[in-house]
């Protein structure tokens, strides 16, 4: 299962900067590099970034009774909990759709009757080569989560109309959840779910 | 000029992890930290992240004749050019709205008759505390860009309906531009521009 927009992520790579050297300042999986680069105009500077290769999935899970399985999750960089949809990193070699099914199961114990891939995107092109893959999951049944020991997640099922009211009011602060919600909206309306 | 959702970013901070130590592996402005943390359950691990404090603006510029001032920009982490809207980092102490006006001027030589703040968001809460602030700029007049020496930007004015066709087809790959386009859509429709 794939979205046709995924083909856009296989474009030939180009080097517009000349890379004089590369230092790894943090190892995989959260690898961070510092390149010493030189532009056409001869300017030299250091570029710190996360390289191509990382990927994550985001799942917008709609239960059979029209609830969105939102989660509240503690995010250490923010020093707070925020509301998100279930998400997680694609493991090396893992199929993207299999990863989406796994994350839904792990984070909210969910299984879905119907899946729709949504357009993938770069979350922060100035800093990271990561690609994020959102999915819409319909007919979801929730169960017992299987959280990793470092995850602190609270399930917060919320009626679909309330979630879209929150979206329109700017109350969903996670940009990636915002994208999935906007992308899924026409299909949810078309299905009479919203 | 501010959006009421900006208040959501001033919530009290909490520490759900105990932080045993912090190392800075890259200095500001692209500061990266590695915290040695311990969870409630006693699990210890390293968390690499960009701390709270960074901010960037994104400007969706609509000209008086209904074109979107899209740009093509080389992004070193991706090793390719992608289509985006004008954007840039908020300087320390800089007002967010002043920054939006500055970036529009610098990247596409633009000035706007009318500005609308859109809801801010966290671009990647698992990794960065950065907050991104999108704006809609209407009645934009384009001029001579004033690019930084490290910026490679090509202006690509595109009719509004074509930009939203690209959005719906998943051809806009920059997640932050995607968010601004979705957020601005109802106002553009309401104004009869779309």
Q: What CA–CA distance (Å, rounded) separates A104 from A52?
A: 25
Q: Is the pLDDT of residue A149 over 80?
A: no
Q: Is the pLDDT of residue A79 over 90?
A: yes
Which pLDDT does position B12 carry in this prediction?
Answer: 83
- Residues A119-142 have a mean pLDDT of 98
Distances (CA, A) of B157 to A34, A71, A121, A175, B81: 33, 39, 21, 26, 16
- Does residue A55 contact residue A96 with C-beta atoms inside 8 Å? yes
User: What confidence tier does A148 reach under pLDDT thresholds 50, 70, 90?
Assistant: confident
ipTM over cut 0.95: yes
Tell me which chain B residues have a C-beta less than 8 angstroms from the C-beta of A86.
none
Distances (CA, A) of B64 to B87, B142, B156: 20, 10, 16
Which pLDDT does position A11 carry in this prediction?
Answer: 79
Which pLDDT does position B151 carry in this prediction?
Answer: 77
pLDDT tens, position by position, A82-98:
999 999 999 999 999 99
The residue ranges of chain B whose pLDDT is under 50 are none
Q: Which of residues 82-121 of B touch A (CB under 8 A)?
A: 82, 84, 87, 118-121
Strands B55-63 and B44-49: unpaired
Closest to B89 (Cα-Cα) out of B131, B145, B27: B131
pLDDT tens, position by position, B116-158:
999 999 999 999 999 999 999 999 999 999 887 777 899 999 9
- Residues A142-165 have a mean pLDDT of 91
Confidence (pTM): 0.97
pLDDT tens, position by position, A160-187:
999 999 999 999 999 999 999 999 999 9
Which residues, at least 6 apart from B178, have a Cβ–Cβ distance to it below 8 Å? A121, A179, A182, B167, B172
Q: Tell me the percentage of chain A whose pLDDT exceeds 70.
A: 100
How is residue A105 annotated by DSSP? Answer: H
Q: Is the pLDDT of residue A151 over 80?
A: no
User: What confidence tier does A41 reach under pLDDT thresholds 50, 70, 90?
Assistant: confident
Distances (CA, A) of A69 to A62, A106, A110, A158, A171: 6, 13, 9, 7, 16
Closest to B58 (Cα-Cα) out of B68, B67, B43: B68
Query: How many Cα neighbours within 13 Å face the side chain of A89?
Result: 13
The torsion angles phi and psi of A120, rounded to 5 degrees, stand at -75, 165
Which pLDDT does position A9 carry in this prediction?
Answer: 93
B48 touches chain A (CB under 8 A): yes
The strand pairing partners of B137, in sequence order, are B61, B115
Q: Is the pLDDT of residue A65 over 80?
A: yes
- Residues A67-87 have a mean pLDDT of 97
Which pLDDT does position A117 carry in this prediction?
Answer: 98
Q: What CA–CA distance (Å, rounded) separates A80 from B13?
A: 6
Interface test with A, best of B47, B103, B121, B134 (most A CBs within 10 A): B121
What mean pLDDT, rounded, does chain A reach? 96
User: What confidence tier does A12 reach under pLDDT thresholds 50, 70, 90?
Assistant: confident
User: What confidence tier does A105 reach under pLDDT thresholds 50, 70, 90?
Assistant: very high
Give the number of other Cβ atoms within 10 Å of residue A130's Cβ.
23
Closest to B91 (Cα-Cα) out of B135, B56, B130: B56
Q: Is A183 exposed, middle or buried (0-12, 13-18, 19+ CB in 10 A)?
A: buried
A127 touches chain B (CB under 8 A): yes
DSSP string for residues in A111-154 = B-SEEEE---BBS-TTTB--EEEEEEEEEEB-------TT--EE
Tell me which chain B residues have a C-beta less than 8 angstroms from the C-beta of A29.
none
Which pLDDT does position B11 carry in this prediction?
Answer: 79
């Amino acid at each position: 299962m794939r979205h046709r927009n995924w083909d856009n992520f296989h474009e030939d790579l180009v080097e517009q900067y000349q890379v004089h050297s590369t230092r790894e300042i943090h190892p995989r999986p959260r690898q961070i590099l510092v390149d010493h680069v030189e532009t056409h105009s001869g300017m030299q500077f250091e570029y710190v970034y996360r390289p191509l290769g990382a990927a994550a999935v985001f799942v917008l899970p709609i239960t059979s009774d029209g609830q969105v399985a939102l989660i509240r999750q503690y995010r250490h960089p923010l020093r707070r909990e925020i509301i998100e949809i279930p998400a997680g990193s694609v493991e090396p070699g893992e199929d993207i759709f299999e990863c989406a099914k796994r994350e839904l199961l792990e984070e909210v114990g969910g299984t879905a009757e119907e899946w729709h891939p949504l357009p993938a995107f770069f979350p922060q092109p100035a800093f990271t080569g990561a690609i994020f893959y959102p999915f819409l999951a319909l007919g979801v049944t929730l169960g017992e989560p299987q959280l990793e020991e470092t995850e602190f997640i609270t399930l917060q099922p919320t009626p679909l109309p309330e979630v879209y009211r929150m979206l329109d009011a700017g109350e969903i602060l996670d940009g990636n959840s915002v994208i999935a919600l906007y992308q899924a909206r026409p299909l949810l309306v078309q299905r009479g779910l919203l």
